[in-house]
Chain A
Amino acid sequence: MQIKRLITTLLVALPVLAGCRTDETLNPPPAPPVPSGGALFQRYVSMGNSITAGFQSAGINDSTQQRSYAVLLSKAMGASFVYPSLLGRGCPPPFVNNVTQARLGGGTGTTCDLRASNVVPNNLAVPGARVTEILSNFGVPVSSSNALTLLVLGGNTQLGRMTQQQPTFVSAWIGNNDVLGSLTSQTNPGDPALITPLAQFTAQYDSVLDAIDATGAKAVLISVADVTVIPYASKAAIWYCLKNGGCPPPLPPQNPALAGIPTFTVNVNCAPIPPTGGGLAILVPWTIGLAKVAAAAQGVPSAIDCSVDNEVVTTAELVGLATAVGQFNAHIQAEATTRGMAYADVNSALAALVANQSIPAFPDISGALVGTSVLFGPYFTLDGVHPSSLAHQLIADTVASAINQKFGTTLPIPVCGTVSCPAP
């Protein structure tokens, strides 16, 4: 009897115990919400250089990064978007005074604080990158890679990272540094040798586009900015008129401050020859012009001489820059059309700002001799090259408009105001 009871107990217990075993399950994260701008923007990746990265006033930090047009555009898309947040002062910290070269937090041009850890950035743009550095961090003949190359890309390339992220949408603003490096050369502004040859540019640019196509992502290509109209360099004729006077409008009248520095001269070879000749077709970088004024103010005779090639952008060099920009953009636009990509032309907006003098023909140097910053208007920051937060909003609107037109999306324009953006 006891044995039977025992057997019964065991037989009952067995299935009960077996039933105690319950598999646990995967816990996949909820599917990411479809961005408000549409599924097209589920994984948005931006490639580019300093402008896309958010460089302002010769520096970059989290504050400037979050004001990049790419970040603003991602907000318009409603897309999840991560940038490689630079902690602390930045890498390098932006200018707080471009005359004294003082930077945020007492940093210098070689200061580089750390970046946030364990983030996989969507914004892959690296300041200084030319089209060749999109493909390789070891561009030839001289690489423009820098400290930010590792901080942003972690040893990979922009192209490699873009591919890894399996984007659904890519923005590419590539090519600015393929001409800008020539304009901003400290040894020969406008040096034609520093303009990427067209054949090389197109081949490398097409390699980038092939890689984007291979991901299946849609894309917007942004035109190379016309570096000849940015306030970094001004017409030599303006320097001539400000110093010597006697120029007809719209050229400016004589500036008493400059005229009052006897050791500062602007040679007659910089004088305007209407309608577009002479000093009207020669550019003087503000860094060079201001350095001469400062030296003269200290009693050292200094002259802007438009025949000195390594101090000005000569007429031929200016034509070379404009030609390169035009050729690059013609190729970019043609490829966009061929490949079904959107094309955003920022130069129309840039030209409009020049026309209405929002981009000043000549920087405000009124305080420079007493140590206050040279100013370049509301759309450019203290280096005269990089757009301000306000300009980034305009760029975002321009790019969003091109995307809407090409892909039938309804990204809000203006972007800021419709979505929340950091204050300019």
Chain B
Amino acid sequence: MRRFHVWLAVGGLAALTGVPVTLAAQGFSVNEHSTCAMGRAGTAVASPCADGSAIFFNPAGVASSAKGHTTISAGGTAIAPSGGFTDDATGTTSNLNNKVYPIPALYITHGFSDRVAAGIGVFAPYGLTTDWPATTPGRYLGYKSVIRAIYIQPTVAVKLGSMVKLGAGFDLNIFHVQLRQRVDLSTQQLPAPAPPGATFANLGIPAGTDFADVNLTGNATGVGYNLGAILEPSDKVSLGLRFLSRQKVKMNNGTAAISQVSTGITLAAGNPFGVPAGTPLDAVVAGQFTGSGPLQDQNARTAVRMPEQLVGGIMVKPVDRLKLLFDVSWTNWKVFDTLSIITANLPQSNIPENFGATTAWRYGAEYEISPTTVIRAGYLFHNAAEPKGSVTPNLPEGSRSEFTVGLGAKLGSSLHGDLAYQYINQQDRRGRTVPFGQPDNGLFTFKAHLFGAMLTYTF
């Protein structure tokens, strides 16, 4: 009997296809940074809300801050996603873990003069989480993906005359990523004397035999900028334009923590590894996780690009108490073409993603029902960044229709509160839980409920 002294030629990270995740917008971007704006489907570039969120939606809007006044806003959005993957062949469905994810936001603005204002904001324009059970069929591509890109943006804005406002902000991106996946022993290469390309499946190890768990984590920082302009030809119409720059975040100090997972296989007599009957298969491969084995915890490097965003919009007031808003935003997801992961002991993994640019169309309305209360509503639609063939458990993304409602109320002379609800209805999207290049093998579904709340204090 040919004896195989196990050495895993490909190893744990080779199949890493991890992509950070979206819950709330195309690609892995997030647009819910203001409860006021959320209530009107994120339409804010032409007429930012008075909660300081102009720092994100259009830095020029910060110039609206009244001289000598400071505004502090704090709040967040809770996202409750649901979704799953249904396999074409078996008809079985694996659902996302049922969790609620918070997105906090904080803004401070101050009017230094009638023309100049400044502020600082903390928000997360990219990120969130996809969290599947560790038994999900797509676990070899990834069962948990987390991205957290927290932008800290100091901003300055000026008024030029009575109609023009300009603003600019510097973005410091505090970036965190986590990708978890299982590794299937049956797909691992056998060493010589096995012929090239032979795997443990050629020894009878069934497909779907987990033997390792990879947890790739890392932190990094990036920098960029956010520019905005607002034109107000009359008190009934305003136009806005905003550009958020691209960022390339290099993560050089990441860690790939690799732990052994029991295969549950006990070897019988005469096994090809030459070990006594009753030996767990885990013991045969255990050496890969210790000593000089390739599956020890190791350094990992990758780089992720945050795409640039260009948003234009208009606000009109057909009657005094009604605002109608329309934004169109373009996000250059083309920059996310390949994800490369480099580890200390394992072959480099280059995963084609081939994202495409996306466009979102946003429609919002805000009506002042009393001097202290406004109601809001909105609808938005956007297409998907992922092309056919790239839809995986890491980013089960599709085009979306989203519906929003909101309420704003003065809670005193200095305090204002906002509430909003948003429903995301994502297109059911065909995707795959199998390696790149293989045909889509099932259907991803995704829906989400979002609840926002924000308090704004002005003094």
Contacts and interface: CB of A to CB of B under 8 A. Distances in A.
A17 B430 contact: no
A154 B428 contact: no
Nearest to B443: A26
Contacts of A14: 363, 379
Contacts of B269: 143-146, 149
B361 interface: yes
Interface string B187-221: 00000001100110111111101000000000000
B203 A151 contact: yes
Contacts of B198: 114, 117
Given A10-B326, A112-B272, A114-B198, A26 B442 contact: yes
A257 interface: no
Interface stretch (B102-110, B118-126, B260-268, B343-351): B260-268
A28 B441 CA distance: 9
B435 to A, nearest CB: 12
Given A3-B316, A28-B88, A137 B268 contact: yes
Contacts of A406: none
Contacts of A24: 398, 427-430, 443
A27 B441 CA distance: 8
A107 to B, nearest CB: 10
Given A7-B324, A10-B324, A153-B204, A147 B430 contact: no
A114 B186 CA distance: 13
Interface residues of B, number: 56
Given A6-B314, A117-B186, A29 B1 contact: no
B91 interface: yes
A13 B361 contact: yes
A114 B401 contact: no
Contacts of A113: 2
Contacts of A145: 268-270, 277
Contact of B204 (A20, A111, A154): A154
A26 B199 CA distance: 31
Interface of A: 3, 6-7, 10, 13-14, 17-18, 20-29, 84, 87, 110-118, 120, 137-138, 143-156
26 contacts: A3-B318, A6-B314, A7-B318, A10-B324, A14-B363, A18-B401, A20-B381, A20-B399, A21-B381, A21-B400, A21-B425, A24-B443, A25-B430, A25-B443, A27-B443, A114-B198, A116-B202, A117-B199, A118-B201, A137-B277, A145-B269, A146-B268, A146-B270, A151-B203, A155-B209, A155-B265
Given A10-B326, A138-B278, A155-B263, 16 more contacts: A18-B381, A20-B381, A21-B381, A21-B401, A21-B425, A25-B430, A27-B430, A27-B443, A28-B91, A84-B204, A115-B203, A120-B206, A150-B268, A150-B271, A154-B204, A155-B264
